[in-house]
Amino acid sequence: MIYLDNAATSFPKPEAVYSMVDDVLRRISGSPGRASHRMAIEAGRVVFNAREVLSGLLGIPDSSRIAFTKNATEAINIALKGILRPGDHAVTTTFEHNSVVKTLGRLEKDGVSVTKVRPDREGLLRPKDILGAIRKETKLVTVVHASNVFGTIEPIEEIGRGCRERGVYFMVDAAQTIGAVPVNIGDMEVDIIAATGHKALFGPQGTGFIYVRNGMELEPLIDGGTGDLDTMLEMPDRLESGTMNMPGIGGLYAGAEFLLKEGVDKVRERETALVGEILSGLGAIDGVRIIGPRDARKRASLVAFNVEGVPPAEAGRRLDEGFSILVRSGAHCAPEAHREAGTHPDGAVRVSPGYFTKPEDIEAFLRAVRTIAKG
């Protein structure tokens, strides 16, 4: 079996991730912050260490500004619903993930107005277009760091500087980039980052986090689950109501620690080389249309494409059943992005190598696509 669906969930994980999840379940099953016995204290240490390692990866000086969530979707909901109120205006794009699209759609029904900015044909935003959409009632700009369809890495730094100058909050959906692309919070001028743990950070499913800059507080999405009656809790308790996913956070800690030791630059270099091979190989196959830029350096580690005359669902099925190659076909929870790409409603085939993908895996994938394209 060849697994090429890392943009959905990374596989395999570093061995330390499996070991840590097992260790937490067997030895550290206490609830952090809920008791003073040794297991609860050890559990709290695991959670603290996870925050510290993530802070090291992202250049965050205060790890308490990270709150754990069950995924990036929950983090996005916390941010959008914690900031926007009736009468506010938000700026976003026409190629966001449904976690942004649907949440903003719900808020529009409550009186929030939304402007959506289009990218160029390769999925690249022009910062002047985003900043030009800001008006006096604009409260927030939210942009995906790299689309899970186009793959294009957006000019977050320039957009962030413009938002800061205009006094507008800036949120980045970094689900496809955290752990795979070097990210430094100071360079990005970002107020909020939403990220998942189960992709390039090598954590288990059911993990994610939200970063909120110092001095900014969000209204909690969920109340309760803490040991006192104070409704004005500070970060991270403010956004972490209820019992935490200790095995998941432990696994995320191990995955992030592996990344910190290996170096995100090393991960980026390896994955960029693999994506370059995919782009070159697909580009040489008659009838294949690639979505997004042809330069691997401008992309996250994913390539969406279609084969002329072969529906994406059929291509994905044939890759799985005929060649034991696992990719993802369809709309990728981002129908607006596929509308922008001209591939709605069927979507596309998406191939996404990871850090542990081998060059021979890509060679086998390209041979399989050539066979499918020939009919």
Give the domain ranges of the chain: 15-262, 263-373
SS3 35: coil
CB 56 within 8 A of CB 182: no
pLDDT for res 227: 52
What residues of the chain score a pLDDT lower than 70?
225-232
**Cα–Cα distance measured from residue 253 to residue 201, given in angstroms and rounded to the nearest whole number:** 9
What does the block give as tokens for 167? 């006094």
SS3 351: strand
**Cα–Cα distance measured from residue 93 to residue 172, given in angstroms and rounded to the nearest whole number:** 12
For 338-344, the CB contacts below 8 A with 24+ separation are: 338/149, 339/94, 340/94, 340/95, 340/118, 340/119, 340/123, 340/150, 341/95, 341/123, 341/149, 341/150, 341/291, 341/304, 343/149, 343/291, 343/304, 343/306, 343/312
Which of 363, 366, 289, 357 has its CA nearest to residue 6? 357
Q: Which residue has the tokens 């390539």?
A: 303
pLDDT for res 289: 98
- CB neighbours (10 Å) of residue 202? 28
pLDDT for res 223: 83
pLDDT for res 226: 62
CB 254 within 8 A of CB 20: yes
What does the block give as tokens for 32? 């952090």
| CATH T-level assignment (fold) for domain 263-373 | Aspartate Aminotransferase, domain 1 (3.90.1150)
Identity of residue 299: R
| CATH 3.40.640.10 holds for 15-262 | yes
pLDDT for res 243: 87
pLDDT for res 231: 56
CB 173 within 8 A of CB 194: yes
pLDDT for res 218: 93
pLDDT for res 224: 76
SS3 91: strand
Instruction: Give 234's DSSP letter.
Output: P
**Cα–Cα distance measured from residue 25 to residue 23, given in angstroms and rounded to the nearest whole number:** 5
CA 161 to chain centre: 22
CB 178 within 8 A of CB 190: no
- Residue 41: which residues within 8 A CB-CB, separation 6 or more? 30
pLDDT for res 56: 94
- Residue 355: which residues within 8 A CB-CB, separation 6 or more? 10, 200, 262, 267, 270, 271
Strands (E), the chain: 2-3, 66-69, 89-93, 113-117, 138-144, 169-173, 192-196, 208-212, 288-291, 303-307, 325-326, 328-330, 348-351
**Cα–Cα distance measured from residue 236 to residue 234, given in angstroms and rounded to the nearest whole number:** 6
CB 198 within 8 A of CB 10: yes
**Cα–Cα distance measured from residue 99 to residue 119, given in angstroms and rounded to the nearest whole number:** 19
